[in-house]
C-alpha cells in the first residue's frame, strides 16, 4: 500500500514539475509574441546569441518556448524535451549577462529540475509511459 501511494505521489509530483516548468517557458514565448518588435530589439541589442542572426535567434527562441512546453506537459519524448529545454535555459543565461542574482537563481532552479526530468524521464503520467505500456500489451 505504501509503495502504491509513493508511486502515485511521484507521478503527481513529476506532472506538477512539468506543468510548472512548461508554464514558465510558455509565458516567456507568449510575451515574445505579444511584443514582437520588442523581442527583435532585445535579440538585436541585449541578448548575445552566438552563431545566429538576431532575427533568427528570436524566431528560434520563440518557437522553442511555444512548442517544447507542450511536449513537456504531455510527457512526449520527455527526456529529449527536458534536455533541449535545459540547453535552451543555459543558453539564455549565457546570452544575457545582465540577468541579475534573482534571475540567475530562477534559471538554476529550472535547470536542475529539467536535468532531473532528463535523467529520470517524465514519469508515469505521460505519453511516454502510455506508449511503453501499450507496447508491452502488444507483445
The pTM (predicted TM-score) of the whole model is 0.91
Which structural domain range is residue 78 located in?
2-138
State the pLDDT at residue 34: 98
Cβ atoms within 10 Å, residue 122: 27
Provide the H-helix boundaries in the chain. Answer: 2-34, 36-45, 54-74, 78-95, 101-120, 127-138
pLDDT digits (tens, 9 = 90+) for 79-115: 999 999 999 999 999 999 889 999 999 999 999 999 9
d(CA 43, CA 69): 21
Q: Do residues 25 and 117 make contact, with C-beta atoms less than 8 angstroms apart?
A: no
DSSP 99: -
Q: Do residues 68 and 26 make contact, with C-beta atoms less than 8 angstroms apart?
A: no
Q: Does the pLDDT of residue 6 top 90, yes or no?
A: no
State the pLDDT at residue 4: 78
Query: CA dist 46 to 5, 13, 117, 119, Å?
Result: 48, 36, 30, 33
Question: For the chain, how many structural domains are there in total?
Answer: 1
d(CA 40, CA 53): 11
pLDDT digits (tens, 9 = 90+) for 25-76: 999 999 999 999 999 999 999 998 989 999 999 999 999 999 999 999 999 9
State the pLDDT at residue 89: 98
Q: Does the pLDDT of residue 5 top 80, yes or no?
A: no
d(CA 139, CA 135): 7
Amino acid at each position: 500500500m505504501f509503495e502504491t501511494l509513493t508511486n502515485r505521489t511521484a507521478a503527481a509530483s513529476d506532472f506538477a514539475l512539468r506543468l510548472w516548468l512548461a508554464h514558465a517557458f510558455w509565458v516567456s514565448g507568449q510575451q515574445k509574441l505579444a511584443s514582437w518588435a520588442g523581442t527583435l530589439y532585445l535579440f538585436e541589442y541585449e541578448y548575445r546569441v552566438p552563431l545566429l542572426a538576431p532575427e533568427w535567434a528570436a524566431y528560434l527562441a520563440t518557437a522553442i518556448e511555444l512548442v517544447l512546453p507542450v511536449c513537456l506537459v504531455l510527457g512526449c519524448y520527455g527526456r529529449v524535451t527536458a534536455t533541449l529545454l535545459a540547453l535552451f535555459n543555459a543558453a539564455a543565461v549565457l546570452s544575457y549577462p545582465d540577468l541579475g542574482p534573482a534571475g540567475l537563481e530562477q534559471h538554476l532552479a529550472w535547470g536542475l529540475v529539467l536535468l532531473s526530468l532528463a535523467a529520470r524521464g517524465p514519469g508515469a503520467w505521460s505519453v511516454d509511459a502510455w506508449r511503453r505500456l501499450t507496447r508491452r500489451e502488444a507483445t
